[in-house]
């Protein structure tokens, strides 16, 4: 039996590799470095059309990858600009992708079999999805103006799960249950299901599409949830009236909120109970706000003179939504009922006070006091 002195000798003779900390590479970070594409780590952008981009020739010209902090990273936002008359290289990949067109016009070709390609035209305001591992190529339809789009993908999760580039980029498997060669697969139509679910793979103009009542989020909001190509990642669009705001709630990180209409507004984001880390992100058409961390409270306010509409692209369901939410329904269920939404009567009075101040700055009439029937003192009244 080895004595303590013997054990010290054994430890001293161990090879260097046995005492060196093991390093495991991050395949997603490695991919960004291999691509040579610009990375932006931020969660609030005033105007995506004004974000400076770097070279990304494979995508058709310029681009950048937007990420929240890596410890919270469930998805990314790829901002791409296709040069006039340009096109992307054909590709397919083992991760899901939504594309929302910010500016310009063009066409997309998507296929499993090159002999049966879907080719359709898109423009600013269009939303479509690339079915999992389907091949695709994008074309700028203008010879004089660039076309810019944002693509929200779950590439970080998939690359980190499989840790194999060939599996992600060269996998021959075809998801025939997520893709169809039928003529109407990218026809621009759709089918409406219960709970405001609109099933479609191509929406020609999201800023103008019909929406439906969604009372649970408060203040007369309307909404449509999207079901696209069987994706686990999710998308929806919401709109709320002038002088109103939505209820605060929290869920996992990675939800991208893209402002489609409205002339003034903002979002509040915080994680601490005393709201000492609260950040105010002002927005307008073209702004992007990303929920940056697990369990971040966030709340959206229309302090302008027009109805405000936003597109939300989120990590989704079946484990792709971060664990805090537990259930996709938890974020619109009151804390009083075991969910993760703060009802108006439970929010801090300063929330409404700030909102009424912001409305006055933009000549908008605040319309939230009816939702606070038991409140008698308002900062705006005291300042008169």
Tens of pLDDT, residues 182-240:
999 999 999 999 989 999 999 999 999 999 998 777 778 899 999 999 999 999 999 99
Pick from 36-50, 171-185, 315-329: least confident: 315-329
Q: Under 8 Å CB-to-CB from 212, ≥6 apart: which residues?
A: 196, 222, 223, 224
Long-range contacts of 109-117 (CB under 8 A, 24+ apart): 109/136, 109/137, 109/139, 110/134, 110/135, 110/136, 110/179, 110/186, 111/135, 111/136, 112/174, 112/176, 112/179, 112/181, 113/181, 116/181
Query: Which residue in this structure is represented by tokens 């191509």?
Result: 202
Instruction: Tell me the three state secondary structure of residue 355.
Output: helix
- Give the integer Cα–Cα distance in Å for 94 and 109: 18
Domain limits, the chain = 27-175, 186-382
27-175 maps to CATH 3.40.50.2020: no
Tens of pLDDT, residue by residue over 312-351, are 999 876 444 444 444 445 677 888 888 889 999 999 999 9
Q: What is the pTM of this model?
A: 0.90
Domain 27-175 identical in fold to domain 186-382: yes
Give the per-residue pLDDT at 9.
56
CB count in 10 Å sphere of residue 165:
13
Beta bridge partner(s), residue 237 = 224, 311
Considering the domain 186-382, what is its CATH architecture?
Answer: Sandwich (2.60)
Beta bridge partner(s), residue 235 = 226, 313
């Amino acid at each position: 039996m080895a004595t303590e002195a013997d054990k010290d000798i054994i430890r001293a003779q161990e090879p260097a590799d046995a005492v060196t900390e093991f390093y495991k590479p991050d395949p997603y970070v490695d991919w960004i470095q291999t691509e040579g594409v610009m990375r932006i780590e931020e969660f609030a952008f005033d105007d995506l059309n004004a974000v400076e981009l770097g070279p990304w020739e494979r995508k058709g010209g310029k681009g950048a990858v937007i990420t929240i902090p890596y410890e919270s990273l469930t998805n990314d936002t790829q901002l791409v600009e296709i040069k006039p008359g340009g096109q992307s290289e054909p590709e397919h990949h083992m991760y899901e992708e939504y594309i929302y067109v910010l500016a310009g016009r063009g066409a997309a070709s998507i296929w499993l079999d090159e002999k049966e390609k879907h080719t359709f035209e898109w423009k600013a305001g269009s939303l479509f999805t690339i079915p999992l591992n389907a091949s695709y190529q994008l074309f700028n339809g203008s010879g004089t103006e660039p076309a810019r789009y944002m693509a929200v993908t779950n590439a970080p999760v998939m690359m980190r799960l499989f840790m194999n580039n060939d599996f992600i980029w060269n996998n021959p498997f075809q998801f025939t249950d997520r893709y169809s060669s039928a003529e109407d697969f990218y026809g621009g139509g759709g089918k409406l299901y219960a709970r405001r679910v609109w099933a479609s793979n191509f929406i020609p103009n999201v800023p103008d599409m019909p929406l439906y009542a969604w009372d649970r989020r408060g203040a007369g909001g309307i909404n449509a949830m999207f079901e696209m190509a069987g994706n686990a990642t999710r998308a929806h669009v919401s709109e709320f009236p002038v002088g109103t705001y939505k209820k605060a709630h929290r869920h996992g990180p990675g939800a991208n909120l893209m402002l489609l209409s409205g002339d003034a507004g903002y979002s509040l984001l915080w994680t601490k109970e005393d709201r000492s880390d609260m950040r105010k992100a002002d927005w307008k058409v073209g702004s992007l706000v990303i929920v940056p961390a697990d369990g971040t409270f966030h709340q959206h306010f229309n302090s302008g003179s027009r109805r405000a509409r936003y597109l939300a692209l989120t990590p989704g369901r079946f484990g792709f939504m971060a664990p805090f939410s537990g259930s996709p329904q938890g974020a619109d269920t009151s804390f009083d009922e075991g969910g993760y939404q703060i009802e108006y009567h439970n929010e801090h009075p300063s929330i409404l006070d700030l909102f009424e101040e912001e409305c006055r700055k933009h000549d908008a009439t605040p319309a939230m006091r009816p939702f606070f029937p038991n409140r008698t003192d308002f900062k705006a009244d005291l300042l008169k």
